[in-house]
Amino acid sequence: MIYSTTITVSPDVEKNQSAVKKEIGRTLSKNGVQNLPEDAEYVLEKRSVDARHGKIKIILRYKIYVGEKSGPKAFEPKWKKVSTEKTVVIVGSGPAGLFGALKLLEHGIKPNIIERGQDASTRKRDIAAISTQGKINPDSNYCFGEGGAGTFSDGKLYTRSNKRGDISGVLAIFNYFGADEKILSDSHPHIGTDRLPSIVQNMRKKILELGGEFHFGFRCVSLLTEDEKSTETTRTTGTDETSAPKKTVTGIVAENIITGEKIKFAGDAVLLATGHSAPDIYKMLAAVSPESLEAKTFAVGVRVEHPRATIDTIRYHNASNAKKLGAAEYRLVSQQDGRGVYSFCMCPGGFVVPSASGPDEIVVNGMSAAGRNSAWSNAAIVVETRPEDIPRNFAAEAQKLGCPALAGLLWRVWLEKLTSGHGEGQKAPAQRLVDFIDGKKSGTLPKSSYAPGLVSSRLDEWLPKSMVHRLKNAFHDFNREMRGFVCDEALIVAGETRTSTPVRILREKESGECVALKNLYPAGEGSGYSGGIVSSAMDGINICERICKKLAH
């Protein structure tokens, strides 16, 4: 027999397995299940923390196996050595690219991964140089390189995209390659930036072992295409429209970032999984097929940092509870003038890091190690930004480029350069939160985890006015929900601009193929159809499953 039950216990009881079993037995007895045998197996399925109402509660969901020889089945890989002549070129080695490659290997199809950045070990050195020297390698940084932008982040694996695919399957693969088993049961699982690099390296080793290829330091600069001989009828807006002949993508041209040598990589299909931080990819597509792009809603704002003890005290009502429960998390949402303002990528016990991908821009992000034990906690606080919110001059510029969908991207680039103009190198402009709300410059700034350093700046004077107005009002709402959130030690750092892409690469609903370019399959965050590590991994899996079906015919 298999029973399921959920119990609520205190943090102290959670650590006492005997007490937990007694509580499970007591709960099941209410439903007529009596006297569980000694050899029953207790498997934790989900763990969450309820810190409301001044009392900490741990919610545990268990499955209990009675008379069963084993609990849940262990993960059993279905990957096999490359066994066909089919090859899929994968542009980008983030979650969509890596998990897509593993899906291809289930069918014996060869993945050939082209990555503009470097392997994780080399990338670490490039990232260190940003903080120590203010030097940014535009192709190897927090955004580009093995594992994608998520490799040097908190490694959050929480997603609400449960209709997109098998979340537990993605978590099981991460666990197989070295992630802690806790990710299989935590309600908000994370891996940690100190562990993610080795995990993605293990994934690479497996892909290579089975016959896949990796090419680091090669930037995709163009697509190899050939014209179709006949026109086709497509359905993109609910009506049949006769389109111009589609181009068929047969591979890519990639440039060696060191030598400048250009090499052709041919394939039976191309998975485009380049992430949300590559404007050159969107411009490349706009030049070839502007109708394949559309503007989408995204979010921009600032990163807010508090002393960790402040957030722990607010959420747990006593900072000492953090010793039992770990650094506290929060999630905040407000509506201001028809736009959402919300927290994003909250990093408890983490660091604010420089995430620019060019020397003339400043972008910040958050990360934390597996232990989440730094002295600070931070989160992005961002404002929903719709295509109609983009200033007209950027729309006009995009129109001149022949692709109106690029307006939001052009505005984002402008904002990152504007932010750089108010900083110094990679020293980011910052302001005390109370001063931001009151509209005055901060005479001093509190200590911060941001290694390159900070420059005191009136963010409220130069950030877009509509953003400033919504942020100020939202901070008042947040302080009502989390009393003490607005305090003298709270710091805001500009700018948080890479939460998602402002551009979507349109694809056919059934095939996953780009609407205007045959054999090109956009996936992951850069496609505009996913956000975050797990949803991007599932998107890569889903699209590569469709590629496999097509290549099987």
Per-residue model confidence (pLDDT) at position 245: 66
Give the whole-angstrom CA distance, residue 337 versus residue 43. 47
**Does position 252 have pLDDT exceeding 90, yes or no?**
yes
Q: What angle separates helix 196-209 from helix 95-106, to the nearest 10 degrees?
A: 30
User: Poorest-confidence range of 52-56, 112-116, 473-477?
Assistant: 52-56
* H or E segment and range at residue 471: helix 465-481
**Does position 249 have pLDDT exceeding 70, yes or no?**
yes
Residue that is written with structure tokens 């992000």 in the block: 365
- List the Cα angle 280/281/282 in 5-degree steps: 95
Average pLDDT for 468-483: 97
Average pLDDT for 530-552: 95
Pairing of strands 269-272, 520-522: parallel
What Cα–Cα distance (Å) separates residue 271 from each residue in 306, 503, 533, 543, 544? 40, 17, 17, 8, 8
Cα atoms in the 13 Å half-sphere on the side-chain side of 134: 13
User: What is the DSSP secondary-structure string of 282-324?
Assistant: HHHHHHH-GGGEEE--EEEEEEEEEEHHHHHHHHHSSGGGHHH
Instruction: Output the 3-class SS for 331-355.
Output: CCEEEECCEEEEEEEEECCCEEEEC
Burial class (CB in 10 A: 0-12, 13-18, 19+), 528: buried
**Does position 103 have pLDDT exceeding 70, yes or no?**
yes
What Cα–Cα distance (Å) separates residue 47 from each residue in 50, 187, 349? 10, 5, 20
Mean pLDDT score across all residues of the chain: 91
Contact assessment for residue 419 and residue 362, using Cβ atoms and an 8 Å cutoff? yes
**Does position 68 have pLDDT exceeding 80, yes or no?**
no
Average pLDDT for 34-54: 82
Per-residue model confidence (pLDDT) at position 140: 94
Per-residue model confidence (pLDDT) at position 238: 40
Residue 60: beta bridge partners?
A: 7, 47
Give percent of the chain above pLDDT 90: 74
Average pLDDT for 75-98: 95
Average pLDDT for 432-458: 97
**Does position 53 have pLDDT exceeding 90, yes or no?**
no
User: What is the DSSP secondary-structure string of 398-426?
Assistant: HHHTT-GGGHHHHHHHHHHHHHHHTSBTT
**Does position 432 have pLDDT exceeding 90, yes or no?**
yes
**Does position 391 have pLDDT exceeding 90, yes or no?**
yes
Residue that is written with structure tokens 């047969």 in the block: 250
- List the Cα angle 344/350/351 in 5-degree steps: 90
Per-residue model confidence (pLDDT) at position 319: 66
User: Poorest-confidence range of 81-85, 120-124, 297-301, 319-323?
Assistant: 319-323
* pLDDT band of 242, cuts 50, 70, 90: very low
Average pLDDT for 298-307: 98
**Does position 72 have pLDDT exceeding 80, yes or no?**
no
The model's pLDDT over 15-24, given as tens digits with 9 standing for 90+, comes to: 898 999 999 9
Tokens read off for 202: 């293990």
Per-residue model confidence (pLDDT) at position 31: 84
CB neighbour burial string for 340-366, b if at least 16 within 10 angstroms, e if fewer: bbbbbbbbbbbbbbbbbbbeebbbbbb
Per-residue model confidence (pLDDT) at position 41: 86
Residues contacting 72, CB < 8 A, separation 6+: 43, 63
Question: Phi, psi (5° rounding) for residue 480?
Answer: -70, -35
* pLDDT band of 230, cuts 50, 70, 90: very low
The model's pLDDT over 132-142, given as tens digits with 9 standing for 90+, comes to: 888 999 999 99
User: Poorest-confidence range of 146-160, 239-253, 279-293?
Assistant: 239-253
**Does position 233 have pLDDT exceeding 80, yes or no?**
no
Give the whole-angstrom CA distance, residue 226 versus residue 288. 12
What predicted TM-score, i.e. pTM, was given to this entire model? 0.89
Give the whole-angstrom CA distance, residue 282 versus residue 45. 41
Q: Which of 545, 549, 533, 551 is nearest to 173 (CA)?
A: 533
Residue that is written with structure tokens 């059993």 in the block: 76
* pLDDT band of 224, cuts 50, 70, 90: very high
User: Poorest-confidence range of 49-63, 177-191, 203-217, 501-515?
Assistant: 49-63
Q: Which residue has the higher pLDDT, 545 or 32?
A: 545
* pLDDT band of 161, cuts 50, 70, 90: low
**Does position 321 have pLDDT exceeding 80, yes or no?**
no
Tokens read off for 29: 């007895």
Residue that is written with structure tokens 């948080």 in the block: 496
